[in-house]
Amino acid sequence: MPPRVLQITNSLAIGGLERVVTDLTCLLHERGIESEVLCLAEGGPLEDELRVRGVPIRILHKRPGGRPGALAAVASCLLAGRFDVVHTHNTGPLLYGMPAAWLTGISMRVHTEHGRIPAEQRGRGLRRAECWALGRCSHVVAVSSPGVEALRRDTGFLGAIGIVHNGYAPAHLVNRTQARASLGIPDGVPVMAVVGRLAVEKGQDLALRALAALGTGEPNLVLVLVGDGPERNALEALAGQLGLSGRVLFTGARPDVRQLYQAFDLVLLPSRSESLPMVLLEAGTAGVPVLATRVGGMPEVVEDGETGLLVPPEDPAALAAAAKRILLRPEWGGRLAAGLRERVQRQFSATAMVAGYVKLYVGDPPHNREAL
């Protein structure tokens, strides 16, 4: 019989991790593998995609910080659901899900590390707790090679860590005019965009400085920042200080984010740190050229000059120069985008991602530091 799987995440908000959990769960259901989702803190806009497919969702409404009662609540869910596999995603779910699965006797315990918060924000106690919880896992995987290295560095975990790359399940795409109309942008205006949580590590401030560096040479160029987060007020203030207020659009969180890519001429990923962001895969599938910083797992997807452009992190001038190269040569940008689309379809499909996890669920050992 196929295993019953519980996916544990913090929420179902708009984000790369949450998108992976949603796509993975839906595709498992299509394969006849029963899956449920447990949200520690809250649900979110992605709930609808799961509910329409009949996927049960449990929400604990855990408040921030350590909550011993949440461990008992997770254990109660595991006992009630009679699950064969527990799959946790990132730190919070790991710290509550793995002890609960271990204590309730669930033998198949899988953890995926999607990305790390900055090391300076992690205390020594958290490092010890993560290492202990990782030691309770049957399988530990990251989504990129740098993700493996970061997990070892931050936790001291010495066990095997495999890799299952994120995969993209293509969505129905609207046409360019419809996508732009939803943003209030006319067809003839050049647009570059950053899609992601408004947070320091995502580098939206660098994109603003790159736009300023382009100056009057690109007077009609608009920068769209799709997402929300703790840095929104600071970014809006910076746009004003740089004299860019009329050229920057803050959309907030958009549940229809996959429908917006057709509106863009260029997608920027000016990140300070990353693992393997879903934005790369989404932009590639939509046929939009990508300009990214050379951090984390981005070079595993973007081959400089072949499937996109890579620049050093923390360098707005380099971002501006590279963006100008693509915007002034749209045919070349189209070739970069076509190369990225082919690479995503060949190596980063949702089908390959699901197959990698199913191998773990049925007991196959992970291949340390190799893609499953």
Convert the pLDDT of each residue in 63-89 to its tens digit.
888 788 899 999 999 999 999 999 999
Q: Which of 213, 29, 12, 193 is nearest to 93 (CA)?
A: 12
Residue-range definition of the domain harbouring residue 260: 176-347
Is 305 contained in some domain?
Answer: yes
Q: Are 270 and 293 in contact (CB under 8 A)?
A: yes
Q: Are 103 and 114 in contact (CB under 8 A)?
A: no
Indicate if the pLDDT at residue 119 is higher than 80. no
Say whether both 12 and 137 belong to one domain: yes
pLDDT value for 152:
93
Task: Compute CA distances 305 → 284, 300, 311, 335, whole Å.
Answer: 14, 14, 11, 10
Q: What is the DSSP letter of 202?
A: G
Percent of the chain with pLDDT over 90: 82
pLDDT value for 364:
59
Alpha-helical segments (H) within the chain: 16-30, 47-51, 68-81, 91-103, 124-135, 145-155, 176-183, 204-214, 232-241, 278-286, 298-301, 316-328, 330-347, 350-361
Say whether both 151 and 220 belong to one domain: no
Q: Per-residue pLDDT tens for 160-219?
A: 999 999 998 877 778 899 999 999 999 889 999 999 999 999 999 999 999 999 987 777
Q: What is the mean pLDDT of residues 93-113?
A: 96
Q: Which two tokens stand for residue 65?
A: 């910080």
Say whether both 209 and 222 belong to one domain: yes
Q: Which two tokens stand for residue 344?
A: 């995503």
Indicate if the pLDDT at residue 288 is higher than 70. yes
Scored b (16 or more CB within 10 A) or e, 176-196 reads eeebbebbebeeeebbbbbbb
Say whether both 308 and 353 belong to one domain: no
Q: What is the mean pLDDT of residues 310-335?
A: 96
pLDDT value for 372:
43
Is 366 contained in some domain?
Answer: no
Say whether both 203 and 68 belong to one domain: no
Say whether both 238 and 121 belong to one domain: no
Task: Compute CA distances 35 → 5, 51, 59, 349, whole Å.
Answer: 5, 12, 15, 20
Q: What is the dihedral of CA 25, 27, 33, 35, to 10 degrees?
A: 10
Q: Which of 94, 42, 89 is nearest to 64 (CA)?
A: 42
Say whether both 111 and 247 belong to one domain: no
CATH number at residue 49: 3.40.50.2000
Q: Which two tokens stand for residue 170?
A: 């293509």
For 252, phi then psi, to 5°, come to 75, -175
Residue 123, Cβ density class (10 Å: 0-12 exposed, 13-18 middle, ≥19 buried): exposed
Number of domains in the chain: 2
Rg of the chain on CA atoms, in Å = 21
For 34, phi then psi, to 5°, come to -65, 130
Cα distance between the two ends of the chain: 23
Q: Which amino acid type is present at position 263?
A: A
Say whether both 331 and 250 belong to one domain: yes
Q: Are 340 and 302 in contact (CB under 8 A)?
A: yes
Say whether both 148 and 211 belong to one domain: no
Instruction: Give a three-class secondary structure readout of 99-122.
Output: HHHHHCCCCEEEEEECCCCCHHHC
Count CB atoms within 10 A of the CB of residue 125.
9
On whether the pTM is more than 0.85, the answer is yes
Is 64 contained in some domain?
Answer: yes
Indicate if the pLDDT at residue 18 is higher than 90. yes
Say whether both 39 and 84 belong to one domain: yes
Say whether both 126 and 240 belong to one domain: no
